[in-house]
Amino acid sequence: MDSKSKQWQHPGGKLRELGAETLSDAELLACLISTGIPGKPAEKIAQEILERFGGFKGMANQPLEKLLNIKGIADVKIIRIAAAFEIARRVIQGSLK
């Protein structure tokens, strides 16, 4: 089986083997979400969140309270996602502390 047809249990395996640039937005978000809930894997939850907010840009512009209302993922996962957006914002602004 070549790397293009390989199936990963989680996008983190794909990231490790092929690099972050090969992942879709949903796969990248699923890496932050980590685990799903019974009957719904992290990647499916990630896809639903991206659709709800219109992608990463839409998510980045939401107040934390609105993100905390997302059903299916615990607060700690939303906090992880919010932290990732803040890191990205600081990188873009050149203001890493």
CB 69, CB 54: distance < 8 Å: no
19, 59, 69, 95 from 23: Cα distances, Å: 8, 18, 26, 27
pLDDT for position 31 = 93
Question: Which residue matches tokens 């600081």?
Answer: 90
**Is residue 43 within 8 Å of residue 30, measured between CB atoms?**
yes
What number does CATH give the domain 11-93? 1.10.150
Which whole number is the average pLDDT over 5-23? 84
The per-residue pLDDT for range 50-90, each reduced to its tens digit, is: 999 999 999 988 888 888 888 778 889 999 999 999 999 89
Residue 30 carries which side chain, given as an amino acid letter? Answer: A
Asked if the model's pLDDT at residue 2 lies above 50, the reply is: no
Q: Give the per-residue pLDDT at 35.
A: 87
Q: What is the mean pLDDT of residues 17-36?
A: 92
Q: Token digits for 41?
A: 């894997």
Instruction: Supply the DSSP symbol for 37.
Output: B
Residue with tokens 């914002």: 89
Contact between 34 and 46 under an 8 Å Cβ cutoff? The reply is: no
Other Cβ atoms less than 10 A from the Cβ of 70: the count is 19
- Model pLDDT, residue 96: 59
- The structural domains of the chain, with segments of one domain joined by +, span 11-93
Tally of residues, the chain: 97
